[in-house]
Amino acid sequence: MKVTKEENEQCEINLTIELDDDDLAIYIKRAYQKVVQNIKIPGFRKGKAPQNVVEREVGRSTLIRESLDFLIPEVTTKAIEDNNITPYARPEVSIDEVEPFIISAIVPLKPTVTLGDYHSIRLEEERKEITNTDIDEVIQGYQTDSAPWEPVSRSIQEGDLVVMDLKGIVETTSEDNPDSSIPFIDQNDYEVIVDKANLVIPEFADSIIGMNQGEDKEFTLTFSDEVPEPEFAGKPANFSVSVKEIKERILPEVNDEFAKGIGEGYESLADLREDIKKQRTEALEQESIRNYNEQMIDEILKTTTIITPPLLVEREINASIENMTSSVSRQLGREISLEEYLSVMNKSEDDLKEEIRPQSIERLEKSLLLDQLIEEEKIEITDNEIDEEINRLAGDSPQAEQIKELFSSEETKVSLTNSLQIQKLMELLTSIGKGNIKEENESN
Amino acid sequence: MTMAKLTQVILGPVITERSSLLQERNKYTFEVRMDSNKGLIKQAIETLFEVKVVKINIVKNRGKARRFGSRLVHGSDKKKAIVTLNPGETISLFDGV
């Protein structure tokens, strides 16, 4: 076995492995032992033909092909061991030549993460305060949710619900179909909320505002260029409307009664406001911690040089493509292939790969950075801490025992350790960013 | 006998499980012409493969009779020669191609 080793600057080692006939003979023999069980050669019972007869029958190249399944992993593992390489991930192997037999393997090494002076990064935390207007907005939401629609006898105003018979015909002039009209809506008792922001054609609201019950009207409007159906974009449409009923939303008065009516056990309006404030503040705090952590990581990433083997990047990209298709499959409730997905998206595979490349690299680099930081800061999690976390997660729910059992497997413990490590790391980084770390830590 | 006729005596190797086993004991099995005899086969093997023949055993296989309707059809007969060589000698016709 002849191995040539070549290390490139992107943390990868290229191994070229040449096998001579003696090396191959062992693998061919094993392939023969596998093949002979399934092959019928005249003059021999199944599984009894000698190797030279089988080799003549199926050909040497077939035997080599059969042997690849175990040949490639064994040979590359051996070559990697012989050269004292510590691979970071599964190597990528390709067959260059069969005669003589040469394979090449790309072995990704541990990415080098060179941390910058992240201890000197200072970052202000953006804190948002909850204001009275925020609370008012939430309360308005409650108000409109619970508001009943009441019929009124006046002309249409903005914000009304209008029940109408609606007909719409769009005039399309395409080349093969000049001057044709497509009726796209024809519905009786159609309900429209007169709200400019949410109508497909905002001018529709203007056209019907001021109409009275029982009134009929015809008018022409033009679709904007951004409508979802491309064949309608920019085309004029004739509408004929006959108003049947006009309803107005009666907003309930905001008072203690209203607060009680929400049914969450609020005693008074003040009570409700207090609770909304509490909830919103908590949510905001969580959000700002999350943002802060993200910004901190981004900042550290800027000072860090990471060399990632391209192979790992490719794999990350492929993995995220797989994720995308499988999540689409779940949404559709059926399996879809990558080809199908691409044709729907109207993209080539290469385009898609290039498109998600930057975010894949970023994701990969962030996770490498976190690993490196955990190592650098010697963040360790004791079994005690894991147990505590499990107890916390289990809480005092009735299924506490089952939850504990769920977390007791080695695998989940590892992932739990990891998430605890990241949690601890983030606390540390936060205190670095806010300048709360004392000199003693920096001198260590 | 001329060379041309000697090459016709031997029709080909017999490669079966049994013949493979015999080979281990330096016995090579050939299919030969029905009208050949031990002397002729010995001469042919020795000239064609440049080996020394120690012993020859001959087996005749009668073709099977099959009935097609009312007609009785006879398959062709064949003759096999099991040739024992001097220890250490081999015939290369049998391994690989």
Contacts of A44 in chain B (CB under 8 A): 16-17, 20
| CB of B97 less than 8 A from some CB of A | yes
Contacts of A52 in chain B (CB under 8 A): 94-96
Task: Give the closest residue to A45 by CA, choosing from B21, B41, B88.
Answer: B21
| CB of A127 less than 8 A from some CB of B | no
Domain of residue B29: give its range. Answer: 3-87
Asked if A11 and A22 count as a contact pair (C-beta separation under 8 A), the reply is no
Flag whether B96 is in a domain.
no
The domain locations on chain A are 2-110, 148-250, 269-443
Phi and psi at residue A42, to the nearest 5°: -55, 135
Pairing status of strand A101-108 against strand A112-114: unpaired
Which of B17, B95, B96 minimises the CB distance to A44?
A: B17
| CB of A43 less than 8 A from some CB of B | yes
CB under 8 Å to A409, separation ≥6 — which residues? none
| CB of B72 less than 8 A from some CB of A | no
* CATH superfamily, domain at A269-443: Trigger factor, C-terminal domain (1.10.3120.10)
Q: Where are the alpha helices (DSSP H) in A335-409?
A: 338-345, 349-376, 383-394, 400-406
Flag whether B66 is in a domain.
yes
Q: Which two tokens stand for residue B58?
A: 């001959």
Q: How many angstroms separate the CA atoms of A209 and A113, rounded? A: 64
Task: Write down the CATH number for the domain with range A2-110.
Answer: 3.30.70.1050
Asked if A249 and A147 count as a contact pair (C-beta separation under 8 A), the reply is yes
Flag whether B33 is in a domain.
yes
Q: What is the DSSP letter of A203?
A: H
- What is the DSSP code string of A78-139? HHHHHTT---SS--EEEEEETTTEEEEEEEEPPPEEE---GGG---PPP-PPP-HHHHHHHH
Q: How many angstroms separate the CA atoms of A193 and A195, rounded? A: 6
Overall domain count for chain B: 1
- Residue B92 Cα, gap to closest chain A Cα (Å): 12
Which of A44, A55, A56 minimises the CB distance to B16?
A: A44
| CB of A48 less than 8 A from some CB of B | yes
Residue A327 backbone class (left: φ over 0; alpha: ψ -120 to 50; beta: rest) = alpha
Task: Write down the CATH number for the domain with range A148-250.
Answer: 3.10.50.40
Contacts of A43 in chain B (CB under 8 A): 14-17, 19
- Tell me the pLDDT of chain A (444 aa) as tens digits: 788 888 887 888 888 888 888 888 888 899 999 889 988 888 888 888 888 888 888 888 888 888 888 888 888 888 888 888 888 888 888 888 877 888 888 888 888 888 877 777 777 777 777 777 777 787 777 777 777 788 887 888 877 888 888 888 877 665 555 566 777 777 788 888 887 777 777 777 778 888 888 888 888 887 777 666 666 777 777 888 888 888 887 777 777 777 777 766 777 777 778 888 888 888 888 888 888 888 888 888 888 888 888 888 888 888 888 888 888 888 877 777 888 878 877 778 888 888 888 888 888 888 888 888 888 888 777 878 877 877 777 777 777 777 777 777 778 778 888 888 888 888 888 888 777 765 444 444
Phi and psi at residue A238, to the nearest 5°: -95, 130
Q: Which two tokens stand for residue B7?
A: 């090459």
Asked if A35 and A63 count as a contact pair (C-beta separation under 8 A), the reply is yes
CATH number at residue B37: 3.30.70.330
Please report, for residues A365, A375, A391, the alpha-carbon distance to residue A384 in angstroms, rounded to integers and kept in the order given: 31, 20, 11
What do you get for the CA distance between the two ends of chain A, in Å? 48
Count of residues in chain A: 444
**Which ipTM value was assigned to this complex?**
0.76
Please report, for residues A112, A114, A302, the alpha-carbon distance to residue A376 in angstroms, rounded to integers and kept in the order given: 13, 11, 17
Q: Which two tokens stand for residue A411?
A: 């695998």
